[in-house]
């Protein structure tokens, strides 16, 4: 343990640390850091020949592009489009895999307003085709990530559509999901969590 | 057959036609029209519960975003990024499917400079994981689309890397690929071509 005599908070509370001293990575309070942890894990899975999973680029409607002389094209007017799918997809053990990653500052529940209806529709179509589908939910304040398979998620989604509560409680997510190990390589081993989820389904 | 007494060329040579009169769609001379035919086919596959396949958005590096009052965010500076994967992926009969679509104005061969090395690397990784992977090549002048499975493509790629020719000839593509039917629904039935390719592999 390192002491910080100047009274600063332990740096790993605020920063993503790399290097040998601290093996435990804080995957942070901001969505970006969570996303970086997923990307780093995907890079690890790719390098280790375990899976090929990529983040889909942010969909953008490009309106105007300038082509300045002797330099590369500049997009000068564009707009964000609503995504019609999830953020991540790829292949794992020959199977199609698809997931959405979301972060909440909430400590006790995950508000379903974070998920769009067309994303649910997309995930349902993927399940129908025999794909693997789940949510990765980061409770930023608790610094816990859960893998929630599509089937229980869809149960809570339908509860909302039937007029029920507009969120899933942390207890529900803990019961139906799997805590994703937070480590060094990969930083966020969600495929390990997925294999636990498959095993528990097979039992 | 409709006559055009004003001497205009048959409109289907220049335009994508819809409607009842002309069932044969010209999927055109420009990459955009080819892309639209693929997107329309993917929409058909989705609606008919045959497959879930989407185009990945163009990857863009966003540098500057304005948030004007009372209107939506405008991206005012962004740059095109080199894609690290192929253009299309999704799920078909439970399996992961991945392909790149390319158009050439060339009448006798397909120049391999159209494909990036990192895309080949991505496709190789997908094949290693047991996915389905191919190219869709549109010979615009001939108005013919071929599905070329990854394995023969990779053979020609390696020939180039070993100092051989920098293209695949049309004859080679015709021998190793499958002509994609050009129809009404779907406009470009590449999954039909794929099933022919699978059958011929199994024989």
**DSSP output for B61-128:** EEEEEE--TTS--EEEEEEE---SS-SEEEEETTEEEEEEEEEE--SSEEEGGGS-HHHHHHHHHHHH
Domain assignment present for A5: no
Strand partners for B135: B100, B148
CA distance B112 to A23: 44
- What is the tens place of the pLDDT at every residue in B146-157? 999 999 999 999
Query: For residue B200, is pLDDT > 90?
Result: no
Domain count along chain A: 1
pLDDT at A198: 64
Each residue's pLDDT tens digit, B30-42: 567 999 999 999 9
- The reported pLDDT for the residue numbered B198 is 65
Contacts of B66 in chain A (CB under 8 A): none
pLDDT at position B8 is 39
What ipTM score was computed for the predicted complex, to two decimals? Answer: 0.80
Residue pair B191/B92 in contact (Cβ under 8 Å)? The answer is: yes
Q: Is B7 within the bounds of a domain?
A: no
pLDDT at residue B165 in the model: 96
Is B131 contained in some domain?
Answer: yes
Residue A129 in domain: yes
In a domain, B168, yes or no: yes
Question: Is residue A186, in this structure, part of any structural domain at all?
Answer: yes
C-beta atoms of A72 and B60 within 8 A = no
Q: What is the pLDDT of residue B57?
A: 92
Residue A85 in marked binding region:
yes
Tokens of A20: 């040998």
* pLDDT, tens only, B57-94: 999 999 999 998 888 899 999 999 988 899 999 999 98
Residues in chain A: 203
Q: What is the pLDDT of residue A119?
A: 95
The single-letter DSSP state of residue A21 is S
For residue B5, the tally of other CB atoms under 10 A from its CB is: 5
CA distance A60 to chain B (A): 7
CA closest to B130 among chain A residues: A94
Provide the residue range defining the domain that includes B31: 23-57+83-202
Residue B193 domain-assigned (yes or no): yes
Q: Does A130 touch chain B (CB under 8 A)?
A: yes
Asked if A23 contacts A41 with a C-beta cutoff of 8 angstroms, the reply is no
Place of tokens 């590369």: A72
CATH code of the domain in which A19 resides: 3.40.1350.10
**Coil, strand or helix: which one is A146?**
strand
Residue B133 three-state SS: strand
The pLDDT of residue A71: 85
A78: which strand partners? A62, B75
């Amino acid at each position: 343990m390192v002491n910080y005599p100047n009274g600063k908070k332990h740096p790993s509370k605020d920063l993503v640390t790399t290097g040998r001293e601290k093996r435990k990575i804080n995957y942070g309070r901001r969505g970006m850091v969570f996303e970086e942890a997923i990307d780093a894990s995907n890079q690890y899975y790719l390098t280790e020949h375990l899976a090929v999973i990529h983040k889909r680029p942010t969909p953008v409607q490009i309106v105007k592009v300038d082509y300045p002389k002797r330099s590369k094209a500049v997009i000068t007017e564009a707009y964000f489009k609503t995504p019609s799918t999830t953020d991540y997809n790829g292949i794992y053990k020959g199977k199609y895999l698809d997931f959405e990653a979301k972060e909440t500052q909430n400590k006790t529940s995950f508000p379903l307003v974070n998920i769009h209806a067309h994303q649910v529709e997309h995930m349902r179509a993927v399940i129908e085709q025999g794909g693997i589908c789940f949510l990765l939910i980061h409770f930023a304040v608790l610094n816990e990530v859960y893998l929630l398979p599509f089937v229980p998620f869809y149960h809570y989604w339908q509860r909302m559509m039937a007029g029920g509560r507009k969120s899933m409680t942390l207890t529900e997510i803990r019961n139906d999901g799997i805590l994703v190990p937070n480590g060094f390589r990969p930083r966020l081993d969600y495929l390990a969590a997925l294999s636990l989820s498959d095993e528990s389904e097979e039992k």
